[in-house]
């Protein structure tokens, strides 16, 4: 769900950005064979970045603060962390946010014939409504989470309930991002240097 952060961590090439976005849409080892090596390597890195994120102490502690909703909190945190990245974009990148999101939308459009069906269906809406750039606005977090809740097979209401917990604990979630994101940048660099099968 944190498409902006994954794409930004893969900004060194268009193939890498595509692979970073495909990480939530390509499943299993056998499906990797359908993609060229540069794309495949970034799909694998996406999975490793997700594991690193899920296991980071600041993220684990923040999920626990959601109590009985912690199972759904990871989705909300992914979206909120994209908001934190977009809101303070100039701190992280000299390229304007709209230029970077435009690059993402172009990549998806140019390769739409190869995209998995679910991403192929999402990509035009993502671009038309500038989902990634809109994360700079706080209200887009709630809108995105509500949208995701309608695509869950069950318990969408539990995901929406996380929004109230997020509002009451937002200062802590911002502090968790500040603690976690620099660590993620270092880990992502190390993952990029590691051989794809390592």
pLDDT digits (tens, 9 = 90+) for 29-57: 888 988 999 999 999 999 999 999 999 99
How far, in Å, CA of 44 to CA of 56, rounded?
18
Range scoring the smallest mean pLDDT among 3-17, 120-134, 184-198: 184-198
pLDDT digits (tens, 9 = 90+) for 75-119: 999 999 999 999 999 999 999 999 999 999 999 999 999 999 999
C-alpha closest to that of 19 among 30, 29, 3: 3
Residue with tokens 């069906």: 117
Contacts of 179 (CB under 8 A, 6+ apart): 58
198 pLDDT tier (thresholds 50, 70, 90): very low
Mean pLDDT over each residue of the chain, to the nearest integer: 93
pLDDT confidence of residue 196: 57
pTM of the predicted model as reported, rounded to 2 decimal places: 0.92
Residue 164 has pLDDT above 90, yes or no: yes
Report the b/e string of 66-79 with b at 16+ CB within 10 A.
beebeebbbbbbbb
Tokens matching residue 18? 């595509």
């Amino acid at each position: 769900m944190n498409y902006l952060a994954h794409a930004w961590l893969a900004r060194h090439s268009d193939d890498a950005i595509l692979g970073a976005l495909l990480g939530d849409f390509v499943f299993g080892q056998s499906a990797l064979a359908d993609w060229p090596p540069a794309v495949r390597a970034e799909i694998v890195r996406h999975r490793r970045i997700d594991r690193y994120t899920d296991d980071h102490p600041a993220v684990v502690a923040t999920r626990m603060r959601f109590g009985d909703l912690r199972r759904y909190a990871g989705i909300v945190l992914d979206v909120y962390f994209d908001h934190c990245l977009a809101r303070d974009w100039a701190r992280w990148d000299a390229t304007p946010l709209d230029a970077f999101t435009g690059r993402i939308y172009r990549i998806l459009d140019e390769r739409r014939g190869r995209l998995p069906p679910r991403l192929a269906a999402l990509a035009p809406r993502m671009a038309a409504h500038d989902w990634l750039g809109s994360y700079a606005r706080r209200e887009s977090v709630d809108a995105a989470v509500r949208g995701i809740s309608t695509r869950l097979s069950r318990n969408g209401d539990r995901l929406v309930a996380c929004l109230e917990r997020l509002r009451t604990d937002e200062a802590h979630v911002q502090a968790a991002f500040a603690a976690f994101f620099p660590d993620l940048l270092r880990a992502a660099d190390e993952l990029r240097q590691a051989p794809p099968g390592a």
